[in-house]
Amino acid sequence: MKIENHHGDQIPNQNFTLSVKDEAMGLAQSGFLILPVCSHDHSDASEQHRRTCNRPGKAPLISDWKNRATNNLEQIETWFNKRPNSNAGLVLGTASRIVAIDVDGDFGRAKLEELSCGDLPPTWRYPTPGGGERYLYQAPPNCPCKKKNFSSSTDHHEALELLGDGQYTVIPGSVHPNGGRYAWAEGGSPDDLPLAPAPDWMARLMNPAYITDHFFDDDVEEDASISSQGTVYEDVSEELHPRPALVKNHSLRGPSTASSQTTIAEVPFLDRTPTLQSLTKGCRKLQGIVDAQSDYGCSEDEWFTTASLLSRAGAPDEAQVFSEASNKHSARSEARLAKIATDAEAKSFGPPRCAAFGCSEAQVKACFGSVRLKDGLVFNSPAELLRRAEPKPLEVIESKLAGTPYRIKGGKVGDVTFDKNGEESFRPIANFVAFASSVVLLDDGAEKQHFFKIEGLSLDTGKPLRTLEVRQDAFEAMNWIFDWGMRANLEPGLAAKQKMRHLTQLLSKEAETKSVYAHLGFRQFPEGWRYLHGGGCVGKENVEVRLDKRLEKYVLPEPDRSLRGPIQASLNLLNVAKPEVTMPLLAAVFLSPLCEALRQGGIEPAFLLWLYGVTGTRKSTLSALFLSHFGPFTPKSPPASFKDTANSLEKRAFDCKDSLLWIDDFHPSASSAEARKMEQIAQFLIRSYGDRVGRGRMKADSSLRTDYAAKGIALVTGEQQIDGHSSNARVQGVELRPRDIDLAKLTIAQRQSSLLAHTMAGYVAWVGERMSEPGFVDGLRRTFHERRDLALPGQSHGRLAENAAWLFLGWDTLLEFAVAEGALMDTERQDHLKEGWSTLLSLSEQQSEQVLDSRPGENFLSIVGALLHNGSLYTLPANAAERKQHEDLTPRGTHVGWHDKKRFFFLPDVLYNEVSAFLSKQQEQIPLKKTDLWRQLQIDGLLEPEVSNENGREKIKRVRRKVLDGSRIQTIWIKRDAIVEGDTETEERERSREAAVKRPQPRGDLFET
């Protein structure tokens, strides 16, 4: 992991050399309480402690630790200065607002699965060197949390403990008594993700008085804690999980068995839930839950286990119907159902067991006839009732073969023929059958590919084969069979393969055809423009999206009814660092969904954002935080990097349509080959986003490959900015300096990062509706041109004014959305617009200086001037008399030409080679060839060419003859003041920029027509 120490530096990930002191400092900076713990070998401990301590590596080194534990950095520094080898403990419970799960052995893992039913939100976690696991969660607000212990009856070393008040846990960086060092799990450190709130089942076990029915209770005031003028609370757990009001007229924990007069046959929603209906026929507990849900609403526990059971059984839509059957269904229910469905699809938990429904062993035996026990735990699940009711796969296949020439005999499928006497002859084809369950049309926005989802059944074992996805053009050859390994066996002969292909198609007549999208961003449906993301589509149901693995975190929730809180969390990101850093980042985030509309208007953004700074400035942390508008990103999970190939980056930039793509880790390298590769990747990205063109390539048959042009906005992070005049004009640089970030506000923002995706979900839904309005695109185009013209006078390159105008569009549209949602007043919006425009103009001016500094011609002459100054190069007077006065002098450098009072007359080949040799020693090179460099110097007004007229046509010679001592020598004529010049241009641009800020602003309403 990377963690900031008390100096603000970052400590690299070194699993077995982590400094426990730095870990303790980092946690204390976040407000958690720390205490010193003795070392694993008792080094640094007092003699008395060594004699009395029976828990080396785990016992506190201070008395009254419950009151003396602290997050004061100076005190912690003092402790570790006194005993540098000591371990450290993190105080748990209400004092630190943090609780823990301690898992030991198979029993502990099984017990955790039983109690949680898979409800383990991603959070900070680490394995223990003793073979256990530890999970840390936010403690429920204002709720005591007592320790809860579950131990194995056969092995006292195997247990599950929920740790809270009056306890502490040894933190990563510490050393275990066995000599192993605690270290954060991959992807589970404080830099990887925020600390998640404790799941409800955990809170209820640690405090029986804790009640949470907020996923149902329609009496809860959802927005009471969020004011349109206020700030987002630091305690995000209270905002997302408020303590509910008591539900009126019924118990919070309804009975498990039917208590009203309604019978299952009378429950109306069962007609729409065939899976649930089948389950209730075999389970009395579920009968009671369904009855209670249709009457007054079942308890939260019963709701969760039933919804999990249905989702894991492949019926998330039925879980939705079940939840909506009670008037306690709310927006929070929707959010919880979405998470359950996602986890179920990822198979992150198994079907809930009968014990989760409160069934005893006797009840389980009555239902199933036997009880499956493991380590004393009941493993039976109601899901087994579904398998009983389903027909066996072999029976289904045999029914489909009826009326065809194919039969199944002796563990093989074959065709049947009859001779003239009616005698049947069976010729085997294979020991398996295959069929397509669906035809997938994969649409990435540029081309459509057909795939068959192939299911298989082994006839000799009766077991299903792994599901395959086969391209349409690869189906006929049947080579995909080998993906099943040696288990699937065709009979010899070409006829067997042809008959298997025929048989597979016969069994696939009922295969449904479905469209699957392979990109992010807006897509036009009959209902209008809708936004695709990794979890589906905002505003449209039953849309499947399949993305590159690195893009799978781009997942948005469905828009909330009220977005004032999430929008305020997004706007508060401006305070995390200096405005010159956060303003362009936030503007780029909300500019990216406008790319489709701007593309329609002929003004698609043509630049990328480049965040650069030295190591330790937290570029990755800041980038991941802003990218959290699109999903749960962490500093260690950039969707792209400079280690990727140009081909993969090209496709990812295309797939990341109307979204922000973070490309990490542009850094200096001692390896010239690696440096060249990164430079090439950078130039490719700049032209891909700056010119919106793909890499033209041809197939083997000489036809053109599909062109993948970038479709969104890119954020590049690195330790330095790219060089090059034209490159810098396609880039908006943002420098992040040490201590630019406010660490306290960064911590608060990270805790609230889950709110940001809610802002984006509402924003893209709102933009999608606006895109169907006739004046929307015209309004964007008009505002772009107005702002570009305002910014243009202060720029050294026209592209820079466009970059500022594009970022302004993102900022303005976000503020327009905030006003529409009631998160801002219009007067506040106007103030924010003025502040934002001033900041963007200032950034654009800084980039303008970068462009000037990167002009290849001026850079070349700057090096020439430096080499002339230090004597590495020299010139002689062009006047013969003056030159004669220098005959007795012995220059120590290389002669590169002559000079007079107005010009230098350089030998072109000698000068170019000398500068090239100087740069090569620094592993650099002149970016232009000689002829191109002389042309650029002429364009910049620094080289005086010879202009003549031949046959009515102007002829320009940049390398011209100079007569010296009767000889005609080829030279380039460079203005003398080009070697040493003033800085009047910068002053002029500054005056122009100030005038642009003070100039009357365009109309405030972005979409006024």
Q: Where are the domains of the chain?
A: 3-206, 244-389, 393-517, 564-853, 856-978
Which of 413, 17, 137, 19 is CA-nearest to residue 7? 19
422-440 tens-digit pLDDT = 788 999 999 999 999 999 9
**C-alpha dihedral over 812, 815, 816, 822, to 10 degrees?**
180
> Can you read off the two tokens belonging to residue 523?
């897509």
Strands of the 412-418 sheet, one edge to the other: 406-409, 412-418, 424-430
Pairing of strands 640-641, 660-666: parallel
364-410 tens-digit pLDDT = 888 887 888 876 778 888 888 877 656 778 888 888 898 889 999 99
Only one residue has tokens 């039983």, namely 114
Distance CA 137, CA 97 (A): 9
The secondary structure of 246-304 as a DSSP string is PPTTS-SS--SS--SS--GGG-GGGGG-HHHHHHHHH-HHHHHHHHHHHHT---HHHHH
3-state SS, residue 771: helix
On the question of pLDDT at 247 being above 60, the answer is no
The secondary structure of 693-735 as a DSSP string is -----B-TTSPBPPP----SEEEEEESSPPP-HHHHHTEEEEE
HEC-encoded secondary structure of 432-477? EEEEEEEEEEEECCCCEEEEEEEEEEECCCCCEEEEEEEEHHHHCC
**What is the structure's pLDDT at 348?**
63
Q: What is the mean pLDDT of the chain?
A: 83
Distance CA 779, CA 727 (A): 30
Distance CA 962, CA 907 (A): 10
CB neighbours of residue 208 within 10 Å: 8
> Can you read off the two tokens belonging to residue 348?
């992150």
pTM for this structure? 0.58
On the question of pLDDT at 467 being above 50, the answer is yes
Where b means 16+ CB within 10 Å and e means fewer, 821-856 reads bebbeeebbeebbeebbebbbbbbbebbebbbebbb
Which of 620, 648, 688 is CA-nearest to residue 549? 648
Q: How far is CA 215 from CA 50, 201, 233, 388, 675, in A?
A: 52, 14, 21, 33, 53
Whether 536 and 672 have beta carbons less than 8 Å apart is answered as: no
**What is the structure's pLDDT at 267?**
64
632-648 tens-digit pLDDT = 999 988 999 999 998 89
Contact partners, residue 735, CB within 8 Å, separation at least 6: 580, 581, 612, 613, 846
Which of 349, 352, 292 is CA-nearest to residue 322? 292
**What is the structure's pLDDT at 388?**
65
The band of 121, judged by pLDDT with boundaries at 50, 70 and 90, is: confident
On the question of pLDDT at 230 being above 60, the answer is no
Q: How many CA atoms lie within 13 A of 886 on its CB side?
A: 13
31-81 tens-digit pLDDT = 899 999 998 888 877 888 888 888 888 889 888 898 899 988 889 989 988
Distance CA 196, CA 477 (A): 50
**What is the structure's pLDDT at 221?**
32
282-335 tens-digit pLDDT = 888 888 888 888 877 888 778 888 988 998 888 899 999 998 888 888 877 887
Higher pLDDT, 706 or 665: 665
Only one residue has tokens 């119907």, namely 321
947-1002 tens-digit pLDDT = 988 887 888 999 999 998 888 999 999 999 888 654 444 455 455 545 554 544 44
Average pLDDT, stretch 584-590? 97
Of all residues in the chain, what percent carry a pLDDT higher than 70?
Answer: 85
Average pLDDT, stretch 739-762? 92
530-574 tens-digit pLDDT = 999 999 999 998 899 999 999 999 999 888 778 999 999 999 999
**What is the structure's pLDDT at 854?**
63
Distance CA 644, CA 100 (A): 38
> Can you read off the two tokens belonging to residue 98?
């943090």
Q: What distance lies between CA 531 and its chain's CA centroid?
A: 17
**What is the structure's pLDDT at 224?**
30
**What is the structure's pLDDT at 992?**
54
Higher pLDDT, 527 or 301: 527
Higher pLDDT, 361 or 715: 715
Where b means 16+ CB within 10 Å and e means fewer, 618-651 reads bbbbbbbbbbbbbbbbbbbbbbbbbebeeeebbb
3-state SS, residue 772: coil
Helix (H) or strand (E) holding 913: helix 908-920
HEC-encoded secondary structure of 167-235? CEEECCCCECCCCCECCCCCCCCCCCCCCCECCHHHHHHHCCCCCCCCCCCCCCCCCCCCCCCCCCCCC
Best mean pLDDT range from 55-64, 142-151, 603-612: 603-612
Whether 605 and 591 have beta carbons less than 8 Å apart is answered as: yes
Which of 939, 945, 942, 912 is CA-nearest to residue 927? 912
**What is the structure's pLDDT at 335?**
79
490-520 tens-digit pLDDT = 999 889 999 999 999 999 998 999 999 999 9
Residues belonging to the chain: 1009
Average pLDDT, stretch 113-141? 87
**What is the structure's pLDDT at 954?**
85
Whether 477 and 452 have beta carbons less than 8 Å apart is answered as: no
Which of 335-344, 488-497, 815-824 has the weakest average pLDDT? Answer: 335-344
Of all residues in the chain, what percent carry a pLDDT higher than 90?
Answer: 41
Distance CA 611, CA 725 (A): 18
**What is residue 577's DSSP assignment?**
B
